[in-house]
Amino acid sequence: MHGQYGRAGPVALFITLNHKQPFVSLARTFVSFLHGSLNFTAAMPNRFGKQITAIIREWWRHRGSFAISFAVTLAALGVYYVTFLGEKPVPLFDFVSRLELDSLDTRFRFRGRTPTDPRIVIVDIDQHSQEVLGRWPFPRMYFAKLLDALREDDARVAAFDITFSQPDETARPLQILYDQLKDAQKSGRPADPQLLERITRLEDQFDYDKQFAEAIQKFGRVVLGNYFLYTQADMQSVTAAQLDRYANLIAFFPFPQVRPLPSAGGPKGYLKLIQGYEDLGFLPKGAEANSETLTGAVASEKGGTGFFNVKTDADGVVRQPPQALPYGRDPDRANWDIYASVDVQALRIYMGLKDQQVVLNYGGAGVASIEFGPKLVIHTDNIARAMVNFHGPARTYPYVSFADAALAKLPRGTFKDKIVLIGASATGIGDLRITPFGSLDFPGVEIHANIVDNMLNKQFLAHGVKQALVDLAWIFMFGIPLGMWLATVQPRWMTVGLLLAAPFAAINYWAFLHGWWLNFTVPLLFTLVPNVSLVALYRVLIEEQEKRKVRGAFQQYVSPEVIRRLLSDPERVKPRKTQVTVLFSDIRGFTSISEKLDAQELADLLNDYDGNDANHFPQSGHARQIYWRCGDGHLGRAVRRTRSRQAML
């Protein structure tokens, strides 16, 4: 007979069998049962809805694992924000930043050399130059000769990675002699007028600063270097009067144009901009400039001066030197100026731009961009830094010896239309730095070559809003969606999640080759690895332990298939109303058969008779009962069982 449906399913259906024709009566009962169950079938939700419900139920059963994935994702997002998006660095997470920078260095070394801009050439004060021209510092007549050679060879611009802060000393002995003769003349001892005139002519002949200044004025397109002082050791050797003097000299060459954006918020925005430099340790304490003679020679729009400081990151590697720095001696920082790097000045002159066409834009968050006319915009961080896309290890750019260039020993056209950068690499005087390509062997002048190349061709590694969104997407995917999969998959397959590191690394490297700096450390080491590891550990220690207990308790009474279904859906063991079909099967001579067989042989016989899908075989004397659940789509199976029994009669 049929029972009424309850909330948990249909009630039990009891079937009384005809002992003479049990399978015939059972078949008729099934037909009647099938007809009466059509209303229930029509009321069931569609298959898709059932699948969604099953998935949600499965996730809920593994909510502990999913909670771990959710916590890992939140922690990774927090680390990413504090380390890479926050305005101020947090010392606690410095190691995360260093790990990321190390991974970036690895990408550089794996990529190797890339083509450089042929418009850039380096004039190197190398060991050969010292052998030819004598010990450093060279008399400045050689710098004058160098500029004359560059001008005659139609070089576009010459930029010095050198500061000439003190006068040339070549004519110093003549000046001392002249002063002594003049003092003797004042004391009543006559001096030969011809000798004094001769000394005056020699002083003029050996006034190499004057010759250098004249060469600068003839060439015009010259950028002299100055540098800022940061350490207390640097400041100890410079008096306050000298600092004031240098500050007045560089004051002739501030950043061409500094323009506040609407978000700057008025004068307070400028003070906040300077504070941003101070927070990151980039606010200079002093400066050293070129001598008055040379500074006056470049005091025109065609030339200029710029700083050549290349401050390193915390690990001592040069990656993103700033292109603009605030500095002043006035206690009121509102009166300070912003100064451009030697790279910015060289590019301005190379492009033939006027001062008002080179603009530094800043807003409420700091520096936003540097404009070189309407067609070239360099986006930077809040203190005018951009990640340099180094083209290779040391000497990737073409070098020529200073001595060969100054003495005009190079072929005609070597410098035609070129940006010429002059610096030193010789032992004892060279400015050598560490870059992502390795050891302390990278000349500072070549760092400037990379920066000018990056600006000229828009090759800085981009790490802005778009890249941050991609980073956050990776963190989310390695956290939540992967966590959903980890919560339901069998534990032996969970380590497959770590294989996602391979496509992630490939995509990350591909983006690097196309000028994007995507974060490697946080998505991989702080999201993917801990997510897989912690969830796997939790499931092995907690969930799988519970399953082992269930297997141990039931494996002596039910088949492995029943245990599997029980573990996949623990709701099955809860008391509930459901519609079932019961088959009472009487095996003729069962008692005598069972007495002749051992337990294993009897079990094999019953399995052959009842089929491998039977779920439970309670025994009562020589009668056996077989249960099939019918509320979950098993009715057809029950009918097939009945028909098979009929065929056996």
As to burial, measured by CB atoms within 10 angstroms (0-12 exposed, 13-18 middle, 19+ buried), residue 533 is middle
Residue 7 has pLDDT above 60, yes or no: no
Task: Read off the pLDDT band of 568 (50, 70, 90).
Answer: low
Average pLDDT, the chain: 83
Q: What is the secondary structure of 599-639 as a DSSP string? A: HHHHHHHHHHHH-TT-----EETTEEEEEEE-TTS-HHHHH
Helices and strands (DSSP H and E) totals, the chain: 26, 20
Residue 26 has pLDDT above 80, yes or no: no
Specify whether the CB–CB gap between 547 and 567 falls below 8 A: yes
The 3 state secondary structure assigned to 228-243 is EECCHHHHHCCCHHHH
pLDDT for the residue numbered 582 = 64
Task: Read off the pLDDT band of 203 (50, 70, 90).
Answer: confident
Instruction: Of 136-140, 192-196, 326-330, 511-515, give the lowest mean pLDDT range.
Output: 192-196
Specify whether the CB–CB gap between 458 and 386 falls below 8 A: no
pLDDT for the residue numbered 619 = 42
For residue 598, give both structure tokens: 């051992």
Q: Catalogue the E-assigned strands of 404-446.
A: 419-424, 432-433, 442-443
pLDDT for the residue numbered 262 = 94
Cα separations (Å) of 252 from 92, 290, 304?
A: 42, 12, 9
Task: Read off the pLDDT band of 613 (50, 70, 90).
Answer: very low
Q: Which of 157, 155, 125, 117 is nearest to 450 (CA)?
A: 117
Q: Which residue has the higher pLDDT, 534 or 24?
A: 534
Specify whether the CB–CB gap between 260 and 271 falls below 8 A: no
User: How much of the chain, in percent, has pLDDT values that exceed 70?
Assistant: 77
The whole-angstrom separation of Cα 475 and Cα 32 is: 57
Q: What is the mean pLDDT of residues 131-135?
A: 93
Q: Which residue has the higher pLDDT, 636 or 483?
A: 483
| Residues 449/455/456/458 CA torsion (nearest 10 deg) | 130
Q: What is the mean pLDDT of residues 191-205?
A: 77
What order of strands is seen across the sheet that includes strand 376-379? 257-260, 358-363, 366-372, 376-379
Specify whether the CB–CB gap between 108 and 390 falls below 8 A: yes
The whole-angstrom separation of Cα 535 and Cα 532 is: 5
The whole-angstrom separation of Cα 171 and Cα 169 is: 6
pLDDT for the residue numbered 584 = 64
Residue 630 has pLDDT above 50, yes or no: no
The whole-angstrom separation of Cα 173 and Cα 302 is: 35
Three-state secondary structure call for residue 310: coil
Q: What is the mean pLDDT of residues 51-71?
A: 77
pLDDT for the residue numbered 126 = 95
Chain position carrying tokens 């980073």: 471
Q: Which residue has the higher pLDDT, 478 or 612?
A: 478
pLDDT for the residue numbered 539 = 82
Q: What is the mean pLDDT of residues 560-582?
A: 64
pLDDT for the residue numbered 51 = 67
Count of other CB atoms within 10 angstroms of residue 154: 12
Specify which of 109-123, 292-306, 563-577 reaches the highest per-range mean pLDDT. Answer: 109-123
Q: What is the mean pLDDT of residues 20-42?
A: 44
Residue 21 has pLDDT above 50, yes or no: no
The whole-angstrom separation of Cα 519 and Cα 469 is: 11
Residue 231 has pLDDT above 60, yes or no: yes
Specify whether the CB–CB gap between 80 and 553 falls below 8 A: no
Q: At what angle do helices 529-538 and 63-80 cross, to 10 degrees?
A: 160
Tens-place pLDDT, residues 417-443: 999 999 999 988 888 999 999 888 999
Tens-place pLDDT, residues 389-421: 999 999 999 999 999 999 999 999 999 999 999
Q: What is the mean pLDDT of residues 316-342?
A: 96
Tens-place pLDDT, residues 452-504: 999 999 999 999 999 999 999 999 999 999 988 888 887 778 888 899 999 99
Q: Which residue has the higher pLDDT, 251 or 601?
A: 251
The whole-angstrom separation of Cα 362 and Cα 491 is: 53
Tens-place pLDDT, residues 584-600: 666 777 778 777 777 77
Count of other CB atoms within 10 angstroms of residue 96: 20
pLDDT for the residue numbered 635 = 47
